[in-house]
Chains A and B, each alone.
Chain A
Amino acid sequence: MIIDESTLSLIYLVILMAFLGVELIGHVPSVLHTPLMSGANAIHGVVIIGSIIVMGIADDTLSMILGFLAVVLGTLNVVGGFVVTNRMLEMFRRKP
């Protein structure tokens, strides 16, 4: 199997991002692990983009229903994730 140029560049991107993720997290104080996990949780909610696309190209009822469900669940992930993280971090801010 020969890999074409664009797939190869995607693989490069994946590898670089994997290293970047490790670097970004490596030196975080343990105090912030919970908010960080929660924030990362919200960011993978980007999967919602995919659900919007499938919903937008759906043309039969079943696809519409499943797509609708996917968008709702993805939104829950995004909105819930960011709001919960914000609530946690708001508490850190209140210093005397």
Chain B
Amino acid sequence: MTDGLLPILYLIASVTFILGIKLLGSPKTARVGNLVAAGGMVVAIIGTIVLYRHNGEPLHNVTWILAALTIGTAIGWVMAMRVKMTAMPQMVSFFNGMGGACAALISILEYKAAMAGGLATSTGHSLATMAGLIIGAVSFSGSIIAYLKLEDRLGDIRFAGQQLVNNGLLVAAVVVGGAMVVGSLSGISMLSILTAMALIFGILFVLPIGGADMPVVISLLNSFTGVAAACGGFLYDNMVMLIGGILVGSAGTILTVVMCNSMNRSLLNVLIGNFGGASAASSGGASGGTYREVSASDVAVMMSYAKQVVIVPGYGLAVAQAQHVCHQLEHELEGKGVTVKYAIHPVAGRMPGHMNVLLAEADVAYDKLVEMEEINAEFPTTDVVLVVGANDVVNPAAKTDPTSPIYGMPILDAELARQVIIMKRSMKAGYAGIDNELFYRPNAAMLFGDAKASLTALVNEVKQV
């Protein structure tokens, strides 16, 4: 099938993928890891174009292949360079969807070729074809829905019996796919129906899931695409596709589980999408107290004479694009001898680590970002905590109220600080749709307004203190 050199190139590429993922696991080596894996990918692609032999023949249509590669590279490059850091999660989702669609198309073409040959392929071959089609198509449509939801072009859509419809559709798709594997169903129209079923399932599967859970979904769909790629590896006895695909499939799955754990929820719970829905109403009991409002100048004085200020950034900061102003505030306060740290909740923002990326973009020093376990010990000795556009991650209900949907989620103990200033647009509930009793605590005060405008006001006030 291939001559002697190509398998060796595939071996090299496979090692770079393993090494790449390994290196991506540490802040110091992550960038090198990404480049190593990219280098391996280039070797595998060029090797395939030049050295691949199909029944002893080199590949045809090389001009077209190169044209497609050029177009894809140009579009991919421009999109990836232009995207804002805040929109990173949906960008990843979009690219993931493209990989899924690619896998599904391969399966469709394979099936077409197999039909021309009288469907005389082995069961394993048909199984890999159908699995690649279903998984790839689900990953494609699901990723696009996740993309649209994160872009706020689509809300959560839930209807009665949704789970039943979804499960029914999935079972039906698997049954049809299975029938096509054993040959009791066949033909292009049947294949089209199967593709449509998988696409619709992907849409329905992501629709009910809340925006805050999108990272989990993207991570899951990421591992789906990995498995779909591995199916392609089975089809062509292609080791690099198999290794790359399975590696991402398993790594993606475990990453998904880790993300769920940091929110103290099960994957099933996320997928059913009941977060912040009906259960939110039950936790309304704690609210109804009175809250205190402060002005930017008061907060500026408070912070300027503090020893330590801890900033808790949330998605609100990202939405308002306020990370640069936030860094400026930090700079001004440091100039007055105040120690400033950032408390990073594992799921702050829209993806684990998302907040770190955003703050790094604004030149915030890496060692100022303190992870939850570490900073929680420091809150009792902190003078002022500034909560910027975060809500659920500082909600004490996660510890005290067993009826709360976020009960059990580890939180930042901001309430233990001497003063907590919460910057919010309004008293509206957070992403989980639940009230936050922290706002009504005697040591808490609200600073209303857009995060960026409020921070800018704070910077100016601090300068005048």
Chain A 24-43 interface 0/1 with B at a Cβ cutoff of 8 Å (1 = within): 11111111111111111111
Bound Cα distance A26, B245 (Å): 18
**B34 near A82 (CB under 8 angstroms)?**
yes
Chain A 56-72 interface 0/1 with B at a Cβ cutoff of 8 Å (1 = within): 11110011101111111
Closest to B256 in A: A37
Residues of B within 8 A of A81 (CB): 80, 92, 95, 99
Bound Cα distance A7, B235 (Å): 11
**B353 near A30 (CB under 8 angstroms)?**
yes
Residues of A within 8 A of B353 (CB): 30-35
For chain A, the count of residues having a C-beta within 8 Å of the partner chain is 82
CB of B167 within 8 A of chain A? no
Task: Tell me the smallest distance from the CB of B345 to a CB of chain A, in Å.
Answer: 9
Chain B interface extent, by class: 35 or more
**A48 near B371 (CB under 8 angstroms)?**
no
Q: Which of A19, A31, A47, A62 touches B102 (beta carbons < 8 Å)?
A: A47
Bound Cα distance A78, B108 (Å): 21
Closest to B64 in A: A68
Residues of A within 8 A of B35 (CB): 86
Task: Tell me the smallest distance from the CB of A17 to a CB of chain B, in Å.
Answer: 4
Instruction: Identify which of residues 213-262 in chain B touch chain A, using a CB-to-CB cut-off of 8 Å.
Output: 215, 218-219, 222, 225-226, 228-230, 232-255, 258-259, 262
**B255 near A25 (CB under 8 angstroms)?**
yes
Bound Cα distance A24, B21 (Å): 7
**B72 near A94 (CB under 8 angstroms)?**
no
**B237 near A83 (CB under 8 angstroms)?**
no
Residues of A within 8 A of B105 (CB): 51, 54, 66-67, 69-70, 73
Task: Tell me the smallest distance from the CB of B172 to a CB of chain A, in Å.
Answer: 25
**A41 near B365 (CB under 8 angstroms)?**
no
- Chain B contact residues, majority secondary structure: helix
- Chain A contact residues, majority secondary structure: helix
Task: Tell me the smallest distance from the CB of B317 to a CB of chain A, in Å.
Answer: 16
CB of B117 within 8 A of chain A? no
Task: Tell me the smallest distance from the CB of B141 to a CB of chain A, in Å.
Answer: 14
Residues of A within 8 A of B278 (CB): none
Task: Tell me the smallest distance from the CB of B78 to a CB of chain A, in Å.
Answer: 9
**B218 near A90 (CB under 8 angstroms)?**
no
**A40 near B226 (CB under 8 angstroms)?**
yes
In the complex with contacts A31-B356, A64-B64, A46-B229 CB distance below 8 A: yes
A residues lining the B interface (CB < 8 Å): 1, 6-7, 10, 13-14, 17-22, 24-59, 62-64, 66-96
Q: Which 5 A-B pairs have the closest CB atoms?
A: A75-B72, A56-B59, A21-B250, A79-B76, A50-B232
Sample of 19 further A-B pairs with CB below 8 A, known A55-B59, A75-B76, A86-B35: A21-B252, A22-B251, A25-B21, A34-B353, A35-B30, A38-B92, A41-B92, A43-B20, A45-B95, A49-B232, A54-B105, A55-B64, A56-B54, A67-B64, A69-B105, A71-B72, A77-B95, A82-B41, A94-B363
7 contacts between A and B (CB under 8 A): A7-B124, A24-B21, A40-B255, A49-B232, A77-B102, A78-B72, A79-B76
